[in-house]
Amino acid sequence: MTPHEFGAGQVTGPAEPIQKADGTITFMNTFKGLPEKFSVAGGPTLSRDAGVATLATTFRPLPNGDLEFVSQTFYAEHGRTQTWKAVSSCSATCSLRR
């Protein structure tokens, strides 16, 4: 059984991250369309999200230039985006690969 991931749509957001007073930076991205669909090759759809979802992903810049992940917040939704409400995309992908 081989899982397949598919997505289609638009991703918008400011070109530059938002710099906060605490030194962290936040990227805002709005996904419109079908951000993710998981299915089995030649088989049924396992998970499908469609609609509008806005995510804020925050990082802390490190002295060596790397970014340390701080948090990801789900801000808005219209339509069917239940996977994003329940778990992050990485968590959903990892659970399908187990």
Q: What is the 3-state secondary structure (H, E, C) of the chain?
A: CCEEEEEEEEEECCCCCEECCCCCEEEEEEEEEEEEEEEECCCCEEEEEEEEEEEEEEEEECCCCCEEEEEEEEEEEEEECHHHHHCCHHHHHHHHHC
Residue 95 is assigned to a structural domain of this protein: no
Residue 92 is assigned to a structural domain of this protein: no
Residue 57 is assigned to a structural domain of this protein: yes
Residue 28 is assigned to a structural domain of this protein: yes
Residue 21 is assigned to a structural domain of this protein: yes
Residue 26 is assigned to a structural domain of this protein: yes
Residue 90 is assigned to a structural domain of this protein: no
pTM of the model: 0.59
Number of domains in the chain: 1
Alpha-carbon distances of 78 from 13, 22, 51, 87, rounded to whole Å: 17, 31, 5, 17
Span 52-93, pLDDT tens digits: 888 899 999 999 999 999 999 887 666 655 555 544 444 433
Range of the domain at 30: 3-81
